[in-house]
Structure 1
Amino acid sequence: MRKAEEFSRLEAEVTTWRRHLHSNPELDFNVHQTAEFVRDKLASFGIGHIETGIGGRGVLALINGDKGEGGTIGLRADMDALPIQETTGLAWASRSAGKMHACGHDGHTAMLLGAAKHLSETRDFKGRVALIFQPAEEVEFPSGGFRMVQDGFLDRLQVSQVFGLHNWPGLEVGKYAICGGPLMASQDDFDITIQGRGGHAANPHLAIDPVVIAAHTITGLQSLVSRCTDPTDSLVVSVTKLSASNAYNVIADQVELSGTVRSLAPHLRDYAEQQIEVIARKIAQAFGGDITYRYRRSVPVTVNDIQATAIAARAAEAASQVESVNCRIRPVMGAEDFAYMLEARPGAMIFLGNGNTAALHNPNYDFNDPAIRYGIAYWVNVVSATLGTGSVR
């Protein structure tokens, strides 16, 4: 196992990679230059097995250990940016208008490349390490994680476990957080079109006002959480879009509203899908209107395997120190499409401290470069814990 301080020299080089990626953000599956950068770096490390175009633009690499036969584990980083205009003013700020790395995927990719360089030089492990560079984590279904799993690389490469990492603003640099079981919520999205009858705003009695129906619907949907769900369960229903007339004196024919559903329990996804329609339709019909409804399943719950969580915690403790790892973090309601890989294989996602920075998805966010050594050390230690001598099984 390695301490983070042992990677201080490598950190400087990885920082230049990270800032290059930050300056050149790309969205969703269109990570052409990013994937090319990753491929070229992997090749420069002397890694012979490199695959591109997995799940659209994903990159895979295999490093064989020098300690004999063993299994294959996967280490995953995401590569895509967000459609946000950056406001940091940094020297390495985005050069692409309306695009920025506001979630730290530039840091994730750079840290895994740093670990790849070290592992390819030392190869002090059994079996193989699969390096997984994924596109399109930030998009709606089907995302990059889903498409890479569907491409079958886990079976083809005989990957037995997968590990992911995400930076976490507000958590001190050098610290980690994780828990076994559900760590992050599922994400589903819904669209409701409320059909009324348009008219003049001065004569509402001659119309069926879909704006009024929408107001009652938004309020009614909150009862799913406040009055219809066990308070010990986690369910979030948020209406985030509302579109009606664009004139002061017009009652529109219809209103469109959309939102998101987050949960830590699969049965609540079924419940929300059914009950959102029931509530919206009955409210609309009570006012003389009706609805059309669409519900889209997106990312499942991110569930950490208990044994893999223990491995991840041990790797983090070795990189920093035992008291720097919170193994009982409360689950969060954000979603992460690494969940698809965790549905297919046992594994774990861990949070890496990003310090006192702006929040994720904020235009003033930047990945905190001093965290790089802790990410590299974590990845290297996961390999030691799973494929090294005396590894955890």
Structure 2
Amino acid sequence: MIAETAKSLNDHLIELRHAFHSHPEVSGQEKETAARVAAELRTIPGWQVTEQMGGHGVVAVLQGAKPGKTVALRADMDALQITEENDVPYKSQNPGVMHACGHDIHTTALLGAAHLLAGQQAQLCGTVRLIFQPAEELSPNGGSRAMIAAGALGDADAVFGFHVWPDLPHGEVGCIAGPLMAASDHFSVTIQGRASHAAKPDEGIDAVVVGAQFINAVQTIISRCTDPLQSAVITVGKFTAGTRYNIVAETCELEGTCRTLNNEVRDFIEAQLQKTLDGICAIYGAKGTLNYERGYMAVVNDAQMTEQARETVEKLFGKQAIHSHEMPSMCAEDFAFYLNEKPGAFLWLGTGIEGETSYPLHNSKFHVDEDILWRGAALLTQLALDVTADGSQEA
């Protein structure tokens, strides 16, 4: 029933999605997006809407006619600083900004769930809270913590969300209990050497060489110092040094990221980076400074809530829609902070189309088949109905 009603809503969802997609706003600037979300919610009977939570966040609450649990559903609203290359009528009209991560789809699907849940209010057990969150892309200080601090979760018993996922076939849903996505940390290193003429390197301390040795050495933290069954990544993405080709560089600066799924491994890697830097600098007589900044924690799904999600997916789309063979991703998501507060699950909703080029998230040509909109709306709606109803049985 929910699936069929959601399908009938898809034309309206497409219109909404086109409006969001053509007017993207980056993290912290989602003023017009949030206003459109709130305006749409106020056209739907039953929802109590609160704006400007945690910045440009919007929260809507629907009280069911029967007692039961409280479930929170979350979508993110911000776009990325990417120039869109898709040639579509609803192409971004904001130069240099694009919904290349599918947040316009998440927002639209949650609005679809608002419509569907309003139609079920008489049968709804408990309460549903919709969280439209700004600044998900603003690592390491994404918008979830500000929303939580502002009371967006309220007295929720569980929280759910999803992310479109081009690595999975269209319409299939990834449901993994335990770690799903990685913690994302940022580090920067400054190495102080001593300049000299390039023809007399023995009179200087070459910061380029020290930096290169550091980069090579940190890779052994993963390959030789961590459990091979514990996933971890260290990537140095930026290396800046030197002023001229014939001068031994006096300083170099490095920046990189660490991705981990386990808190113990996270702690270990941070400590090992410092030890490695100290050791390399001691060998060459240089001085090194490490600045390690913790960003998003790992997304860890509750086992019971993940099983509930599997049952919901099977009920809606059939058992074949459950994609159970995927591995965790080393990408990050600040939905992790909601799961640190409440039990719940974050799901992947597949958008890959067989025979078509599947552009990855954060790509200037990322696009989806908009049939995915009703699927996302139905998934969120059915999750809310199933979990709140479970609460009514316990009462």
Asked if TM exceeds 0.5, the reply is: yes
Name the counterpart of 1:134.
133
What is the TM-score when the length of structure 1 is the normalising length?
0.95
Matched letter for residue 269 of structure 1: R
Q: Secondary structure at the match of 1:167?
A: strand
| Number of corresponding residues | 389
Identify the residue that residue 19 of structure 1 maps to in structure 2: 18
What is the SS of the residue equivalent to 2:252? strand
Q: Which residue of 2 aligns with 1:117?
A: 115
Does residue 189 (structure 1) correspond to residue 190 (structure 2)? The answer is: no
**CA–CA separation in structure 1 for the residues paired with 2:279 and 2:391:** 61
- Distance in 2 between the 1:19 and 1:40 partners? 16
Q: Distance in 1 between matches of 2:117 and 2:250?
A: 62
Q: What TM-score results when the alignment is normalised by the length of structure 2?
A: 0.95
Give 1:47 shift.
Answer: 4.0
Does residue 313 in structure 1 map to residue 310 in structure 2? yes
Residue 204, structure 1, aligned to residue 228, structure 2: no
Deviations 1:75-114 (A, max 9, x none): 0000011111111122211111211111000000000001
Q: Structure 2, unaligned stretches of length 5 or more?
A: none
Give the Cα–Cα distance (whole angstroms) in 2 for the partners of residues 143 and 308 of structure 1.
24
- Superposed displacement of residue 247, structure 1: 3.1
Q: Structure 1 residues 252, 389: closer, same or farther in 2, change over 3 A?
A: closer
Correspondence 1:1-393 to 2 at 5 A: 2-3=2-3, 5-66=4-65, 68-123=66-121, 124-154=123-153, 157-356=154-353, 357-388=358-389
Contact 2:13–2:374 (CA<8 Å) still a contact in 1? no
TM-superposed CA distance for 1:141, in Å, is: 2.3
Is the contact made by 1:47 and 1:61 (CA closer than 8 Å) also made in structure 2? no
How many angstroms does 1:2 deviate by? 2.9
Change (3 A) 1:92 1:194: same
Structure 1 residues 203 and 89: alpha-carbon distance in aligned structure 2, compared to 1, 3 A threshold = farther
d(CA) in 2 for partners of 1:170 and 1:282?
41
Rate the CA distance shift 1:355–1:6 in 2: closer, same or farther, 3 A. farther
Shift in Å, 1:179: 0.9
CA RMSD of aligned residues (A): 1.6
Shift of 1:202: 3.2
Shift of 1:390: 8.6
Give the conservation status (yes or no) of the 8 Å contact 1:108–1:165: yes
3-state SS, counterpart of residue 360 of structure 1:
coil
Percent of matched pairs sharing the same residue: 38
Give the counterpart letter for 1:38 in structure 2.
Answer: V
- Equivalent position amino acid for 1:240 in 2: G
Taking structure 1 as reference, are residues 277 and 390 closer, same or farther at Cα in structure 2, changes over 3 Å only? closer
Residues 191 and 287 in structure 2, CA contact (< 8 A), matched pair in contact too? yes
Q: Match of 2:87, SS?
A: coil
Aligned equivalents of 2:6 and 2:47: distance in 1?
A: 24
Contact 2:26–2:78 (8 Å) recurs in 1: yes
- Structure 1, unaligned stretches of length 5 or more? none
